[in-house]
Structures are given as structure tokens and as C-alpha cells.
Amino acid sequence: MKHPKSYDTDNATSKRMATVKLKGGDAETLLAKALWNKGYRYRKNYRKLPGSPDIAIQRFNIAVFVDGEFWHGYDWINKKESIKRNKAYWTEKIEENIARDNRNDKELKAMGWIPIHFWSKEVIKDPEGCVKDIEDIIIQVRTQ
């Protein structure tokens, strides 16, 4: 994807986008700490795996991604219509992100890993529920 030479943006949008973190966001940190407190050990942003999962629980081959709603296309069919600026750019960018996520999931599965995706707002609202979802998968892995 080619980035445009200039963006149709205002100062407020530019300032907001500058605060976006690639790793170590609030939701990711909250989930990681909740897992650690339950005794699960992991690698953060594990670059040896496709997609560099936010949390990789190597003992159980579980790759956890905490996805931002905008960047990874939460409710994308409805949301893409509400983009007001640089619509063509953002539509292409987010659809590429969705396709990349799907490719990474396929690669992880082929390697014997279980990819899990949580929306960041889901983690912030209920981190213990997300940990329980991961624990349910761990139980399934142990019984196989």
C-alpha cells in the first residue's frame, strides 16, 4: 500500500493519531498482568511467530492478539461507511490489516499454534472474562 504524500487532516486528528501505541497499550498490559497474576508465563510481542502476538503462551502454543477496533476493522461493514476523511486510504489500509490478520492466523494454525483475538475494549471492560476464555482453551489443550 502506498502512503499519500499529504493527508487531509486537522490538528486534533493528527495529535490523536500520534498517541496510538504499537505495543504496550492499556488493554494489552491489563490482560498480560491478569494472566501473570494467575500464574501463566508468556512472551510479549513474540517476533518469532507470524504477526508478533501481543502475548504468546509458549507452553500451550497460544498466541493472543489484542486488536484495536479501528485498526483491525471492528464491525467493519458498518464502520467503513462512517469514515469522513481519506476514505479510500483508510478503507484500503484496514482491509489490508484484516487480510494480514487472517494470513497470520492460518500460518499460526499450520505451526500448531492457537490464535486468539480480543478487541481492546473487550479486554478493558472484562479482563477476567478474557483470561477465562484463555483458560478454557488451555483446558482443551491439556485434555488432548
Q: How far is CA 66 from CA 6, 22, 29, 108, in A?
A: 30, 11, 10, 16
Segment 84-103, tens digit of pLDDT: 888 888 999 999 999 999 99
In the chain the domains, ranked by start, together with CATH numbers, are 22-143 (3.40.960.10)
d(CA 56, CA 68): 18
pLDDT cut 90: percent of the chain above it: 68
Segment 10-54, tens digit of pLDDT: 666 555 555 555 556 889 999 999 999 999 999 999 999 999 999
pLDDT cut 70: percent of the chain above it: 83
d(CA 77, CA 74): 9
pLDDT at position 119: 96
